[in-house]
Amino acid sequence: MSLKKGGRKMFIFICIMTFVVCFLLGIGSKVVLKPSWAKNYEVKMTPEVGTLYTDLSYGEKESNRFDMYLPHDQTKKHYGLIVYLHAGGFISGDKSGDKDILSWLCSKGYVAVGINYTLFNEDNPDANVYTQSLEIKNAIPHIIEQAKQYGYSIDQMAIAGGSAGHTLAMIYAYRDAKTSPVPIQLLFGAIGPSSFYKEDWNIYGFDQNTDEARQGAAGLFSVMSGTQITSEMIQDQTYLEKVKPISALMWINEETVPSVVAYGKYDKVQPFKGSQRLLKAYQDHHVDYQYFVAEHSGHGLQNDNKIYYQYMQTVEAYLDKYIHVEESVNK
């Protein structure tokens, strides 16, 4: 009996570690295989572009820090805020890794911000996707107030991210939109899990009707949600209410903000089937969306540079459409 229980625990451990390792490999492939057009969205932060303030605090924890990129032109009445959340499988990563895209956003006239959040690791065993989402929610008012102190009045915002950061961005944009201190006008991001339906997570074998599959799903979803989920809950589907706080898809409705997303068809980290469910939710609720599929890629989108480029061009078009940059007061 104990041997059987030990085998199940090992299976759960393997599922969780597979998820973590695949996330890190996906991130690595994206960094190493950077496409040539990426330079269009990489700007060096210079005084002509703006001013960078690093490690500003939004909470008591050491990880509760953000970097703020302020555009050089300080004469506008209002500014749009773009928050970009870093990748890392919820266990690694840092805001500094997104300095290129944040500098690019700043060069377009936006106040751009990268946020660190408490990562799940040995030092922070209680951290999870839910607690991370609450940290992001708590950070936004602090960011807007800090910008105001520097002389930049924020009247609207977009939130974005890659991989884990995309998940957290979706949660804020869809779950927390009504409590945001300024209107959220846009969500954009790539390859972030948006839901936790067991049958969609076939890449880990959770779609199988076996005790081991239910145990594996219960283990991974418990770690990610920060709640106790049992195999019995997986069986009778009561677990869905437990994972709702971290399932961005479950918060989509007719008022959901315009969204631009991209996913890899052969992603072995987050299930592509889940992104198809996200697409259906957009369609069912008449969301203004753009959904890109990298037909030959996994988590890094590394094999479909043309699609990834189209995604970035669309992001730029949607930014121009929904978060218009005001002309300078002096003009």
Confidence at residue 12, expressed as pLDDT on a 0 to 100 scale: 47
pLDDT category of residue 186 using cuts at 50, 70 and 90 = very high
**24 vs 236, residue with greater confidence:** 236
Mean pLDDT, range 5-9, rounded to an integer: 45
316 Ramachandran zone, left/alpha/beta (phi>0; psi -120 to 50): alpha
Residue 228: which region, alpha, beta or left (left: phi > 0; alpha: psi -120 to 50)?
Answer: beta
> Which of the two residues, 41 and 174, has the higher pLDDT score?
174
Q: Report pLDDT digits (tens) over 102-128.
A: 999 999 999 999 999 999 998 999 999
Residue 248: partners with Cβ closer than 8 Å, 6 or more residues away? 167, 170, 171, 173, 174, 175, 194, 195
Check pLDDT > 60 for residue 91.
Answer: yes
| Strand arrangement, sheet containing 79-85 | 50-57, 65-71, 111-115, 79-85, 154-162, 184-190, 259-264, 289-294
Q: Which CATH architecture has domain 2-322?
A: 3-Layer(aba) Sandwich (3.40)
Q: What are phi and psi of 305, to 5 degrees?
A: -60, -35
- 71: closest CA among 174, 170, 152, 154? 152
- Alpha-carbon span 223 to 225, nearest angstrom: 6
12/317: higher pLDDT: 317
pLDDT at residue 17 in the model? 53
Nearest-angstrom CA–CA distance, 298 and 301 = 6
The DSSP symbol for 200 reads G
pLDDT, tens only, 256-296:
999 999 999 999 989 999 999 999 999 999 999 999 999 99
For the entire predicted model, the pTM comes to: 0.91
Query: Partners of 111 in the beta sheet?
Result: 81
E strand or H helix at 245, and its extent?
A: none
Rounded Cα gap, residues 170 and 258, in angstroms:
11
